[in-house]
Structure 1
């Protein structure tokens, strides 16, 4: 018996690849296994190779596995593209329909199962994915009844007959595989899971749920990969809580609508990817100048321009921090897991309102669309902080001809905020420089006073943000400090024990806030290491450059990947080993 395995299903987009992986993983999740899934797909609606790789284990895991144990193929291309990942003793389960063959030299064992034929005999070829699930279950020694609740969940609306047919397809797939399998295959029987009830969700769903729990009730947005699931989730859920989602004509409208809603007192967010973030830049500046709270989710993908819409990259870092013209206080947060994405979204709204600044919640495609096992969320941790929002207090009467001092210069740089229509709360709002009452002003003295007031907010925020760096420091003097951001966390965590076993002393830090930069916390980690290694998915080492700008660091080695794929553990491991072998560490 084994405590983990890696399973992948592949074929053409539109023939049920995603649902095959979903049904397989949901059933195992409900048994209490830990899972991590990553989907490779093309930027088109139908056609083109797609696959879903799922890691299953009896222990917590947060990264893709290096190799592959089981490959389920709906076409020959799936075998040709993915067979090189198969481990010694790996298994290919393929549809007999296309006459499957493994390339010469492959050490995989091929089992041909008539997915399509069996499904057609049961009523429709569409159920071939269920036959494939059954064949996989047979190989793993699973029982058909663990899929019953999943099939009911997915097909109940279509009636009991449809549920019964899909369960029959699973059973037929299991029975057929048992007939063709031999004793020569490896042992893929999983150890029993703990049976605990855990969530299995993508980062985008965690962000959407966090927005809901954090009090957001309005989302204007324009659909874009890989952010659209946030919008789709809230379209279904917000109306149940008195909220709504509006699909705007573009990202400019989405951002300005969100600013307007927040100005009116309704917590609002918008979400996009790199191209949409580019369009929002002027509006982000408006949020900063008018000191109106704003929450934006940027799900990074391959760029520039349309780039690689469905592929992994972390190349928007500088755009988020420095993209707006002029200088405004803003916050860039970077959760490193699906669970953190939930809690950090709530915190993003609190920060936006408490400091009256735009907050960008930065994710990447692997975190936004990658699916992870998540422990039960603790809603007692949710606290709403609306800052200096005057939500009903009677304001002092204004002198004739004066306005409320919406932008009053204060010690902490934060002024009282009032809702539109409040008696004695009349003030002017404009994107040009203004005085304390909001009236346009080009006075040099006023300009300096207002700039100092706005920028002062960052000084207070940098000291208050909880856990700006997720630290794993086992050594007071490490050979190597590995730093990463977003989805690289799980992959880095996986290779540290391997490096330690090789004799390297390794510390790890995952940056959870990029702006304002947590200089003190990062510098403390740097001081405890001989060398710093920065792992990131871009070509220009943006995170490493950010590190150089904000800390005193003598030597940085960058491990970069920008081919559209997330890091595999072995890639980081071997490059770290090379640095050590050549005396760089």
Structure 2
């Protein structure tokens, strides 16, 4: 018996697939399992295939849903056809008896269960998801009392009648398997840690929580998959802290609202995905030239255009690095996990205010919309540092109208800023090129001086990033170096664990601009280098080439079908 197991339920969208998975994910977390829950779905309200996969471990946090599958619950034949390749030898298929299951695999255990018929007998066809949960509980040898507790809490506000109905549906599924397939078992390994005190959340929720606790009081956004959950979470929680959520008419307006609120002294942000980030490009330049802090969260999805709205990809990197007309210094952060989303959004607010630049936090659908359980977040890391604000005492010491918001007399390129309402702190914050007080200019010396001033910030930024901008593990002189950014960290780590006996290094980037040039030593020392790039053109590979060189050493591993990398794909490329 191993220390983990995997389970998946699938069917047509609108059949309650997510709720089935959510029930089991919550129960397992409360029982003391570490879980990662992955949702695969199409951009349709109803119809089309969807599935929900859970990987549970008794010993360590799980950051990826896994390549293999122990048990598959199928509401339709499509679920079997599209997912049976993941099943291990001896794996279990539990399918609705409404269809005759067909499989191309040998050595599987197939159980036919009248999920829909039992639900209809209870008067509600959709409750087949609870019947499926009961059937799964018997196969996994999970005590039904764990589900009863969840059912009571989930439906407490809807009355005892609905609670009893769900318990009855659960028991029907449990008893049917027990009576008809008593020997079909895949006992889950026993969880030993206490289930209380552990969080179950996705990256979007972690972003929202981190933003609120780090002083964000305005979120301006327009709904877009897969970033909409940030808007929903913050809408439900920010008003408790005196904040406001503004649903704008489009992403252009949302970004400008966030800039305006930051200009007024309120920590503010906007959230979006690739198409929305494209619309924000002119406003990003506005933030840059006016030196107004701005935090943008881009939950990346498959592109271009509408592309694959419900699939994952890392193809907005070049847009985040170089987007907008003209040249604008900015910071680009790529969190490496769901908990890391919490920590990096706090860092983003501090950096945006310290350097007075746009900070773009690029997550993706893999960590944005999928959940994992983990220990409580370290709230001691919350540090609301509001730097480079001019004090009223400093303004009082100046002659009237003498405040130089864009002073050139600064080695770092950062000038102190005032907040509207401060006496003698008034300045022009227009988007034209300007002189030190903000008045519009076109003369060459001042234009050059202001551009140079703004880009001096990059030098100051670079002093920060070596402590947090990347992680390196492994041999200092590896035969093989595997490089990734953001969410690919989990699969790379697991692939390396299966490369026992080999000299391997793992470099994972968390900051792409400014680029951590200190990492050059790892490329210099490695014999072979593989770059895991979840896009078509190898955007991380190209960035490394531009910043560090080593063109002849870099082998990109590309994937752009909307699905995250698997461990097997990384191993096959590296070993092949």
Same fold (TM over 0.5): yes
Q: Is the 8 A contact 1:64 1:491 kept in 2?
A: no
Instruction: Report the equivalent of 1:76.
Output: 77
Question: What is aligned with 2:486?
Answer: 486
- Is residue 2:116 matched to residue 1:133? no
Q: Is the 8 A contact 1:73 1:79 kept in 2?
A: yes
Residue 93 in structure 1 maps to residue 94 in structure 2: yes
Structure-to-structure mapping, 1:166-181, within 5 angstroms: 166-181=166-181
- How do 1:390-539 residues align onto structure 2 when only pairs under 5 Å count? 390=390, 393=393, 395-396=395-396, 399=399, 402-409=401-408, 410-465=410-465, 467-499=467-499, 501=500, 503-520=501-518, 522-539=519-536
**1:76 positional shift:** 1.7
- Report the Cα offset of residue 461 of structure 1: 1.0
Query: How big is the shift at 1:351?
Result: 0.3
Q: Which runs of 5+ in 2 are unaligned?
A: none
Gap change, CA 1:82 and 1:16, over 3 Å in 2: same
241 and 466 in structure 1: CA distance in 2 versus 1, 3 angstrom threshold: farther
Counterpart CA distance in 2 for 1:515 and 1:105 is: 47
Distance apart, 1:68 and its partner CA: 1.2
Residue 63 of structure 2 aligns to a residue in which SS?
coil
- Asked whether the 8 Å contact 2:481–2:507 carries over to 1, the reply is yes
- 1:367 aligned onto 2:367: yes
Moved more, 119-128 or 35-44: 119-128
- 409-418 or 254-263, larger mean C-alpha shift: 409-418
Classify the secondary structure of the residue corresponding to 2:431: coil
Q: Aligned pair count?
A: 572
| Separation of aligned partners in 1, 2:132 and 2:202 | 24
Give the match for residue 44 of structure 2. 44
Of 550, 558, 561, 2:547 maps to 550
Kindly state the Cα deviation for residue 201 of structure 1 after the two structures are TM-superposed: 1.1
Aligned equivalent of 1:570: 568
Q: Give, in whole Å, the separation in 1 of the partners of 2:274 and 2:498.
A: 35
CA distance in 1 between counterparts of 2:189 and 2:397 reads: 72
Secondary structure of 2:52's aligned partner: strand
Q: What's the CA shift for 1:100?
A: 3.2
CA spacing shift, 1:558–1:186, aligned 2, 3 Å: farther
What displacement does 1:305 show? 0.7
State how far apart, in whole Å, the 2-side matches of 1:61 and 1:507 are: 21
The Cα of 1:397 is off from its aligned counterpart by 5.7
Does the 8 Å CA contact 2:470/2:516 hold for their aligned counterparts? no
What corresponds to 1:581 in structure 2? Answer: none
1:191-215, CA deviations, whole angstroms, 9 ceiling, x for partnerless residues? 3332243212110000010100111
Deviations 1:132-185 (A, max 9, x none): 0111110010011112332233211111221222122212211111112143x4
What's the counterpart of residue 63 of structure 2? 62
Alpha carbons 1:428, 1:437 under 8 Å: kept = yes
TM-score (norm 1): 0.95
Distance in 2 between the 1:380 and 1:468 partners?
17
Q: Secondary structure of 2:492's partner? A: helix
Q: Which residue of 2 aligns with 1:583?
A: none
Which runs of 5 or more structure 1 residues have no equivalent in the other structure?
579-585
Could you tell me how far apart the structure 2 residues matched to 1:279 and 1:65 are? 35
Q: Which structure 2 residues correspond to residues 239-258 of structure 1 after superposition, within 5 A?
A: 239-258=239-258
Q: Give the match for residue 260 of structure 2.
A: 260
CA contact (8 A) 2:61 2:374 kept: no
Indicate if the aligned counterparts of 1:210 and 1:342 stay in contact, CA closer than 8 A.
Answer: yes
Is this contact kept in 1: 2:84–2:105, CA < 8 A?
no
* Cα 1:160–1:107 shift into 2, 3 Å: same
Mark the CA change 1:274 to 1:210 in structure 2 (over 3 Å): closer, same or farther.
same
Q: Please say if residues 470 and 511 of structure 2, whose CA atoms lie closer than 8 Å, have aligned partners that are also in contact.
A: no
CA shift, 1:111, in A, is 0.9
Greater Cα shift, 390-399 or 242-251: 390-399
Counterpart CA distance in 2 for 1:66 and 1:186 is 21
Distance (whole Å) between structure 2 residues aligned to residue 80 and residue 391 of structure 1: 66
Residue aligning to 1:149: 149
Whole-Å Cα distance in 2 between the matches of residues 109 and 60 of structure 1? 29
1:188 aligned residue: 187
Q: CA deviation at 1:64?
A: 2.4
Q: Alpha-carbon deviations, 1:15-74, whole Å to 9, x = none?
A: 110000000011001111111121110111111110011111113221221121100011
Is residue 2–residue 188 contact of structure 1 (8 Å, CA) maintained in 2?
no
Distance 1:373 1:105, change over 3 A: closer
Contact 1:294/1:359, CA 8 A, preserved across alignment: yes
Give the superposition deviation at 1:188.
3.2
Q: Residues 302-341 of structure 1 correspond to what in structure 2 (within 5 A)?
A: 302-341=302-341
Distance in 1, matches of 2:137 and 2:293, equals 50
> How much does 1:403 deviate?
4.6
With over 3 angstroms needed to count, the CA separation of the structure-2 counterparts of 1:332 and 1:179, relative to structure 1, is: same
> What is the TM-score with the length of structure 2 in the denominator?
0.97
Secondary structure at the aligned position of 1:373 is classed as: strand
Task: Calculate the aligned-residue CA RMSD, in Å.
Answer: 1.5
Q: Secondary structure at the match of 2:479?
A: strand
For 1:110, the equivalent position in structure 2 comes to 110
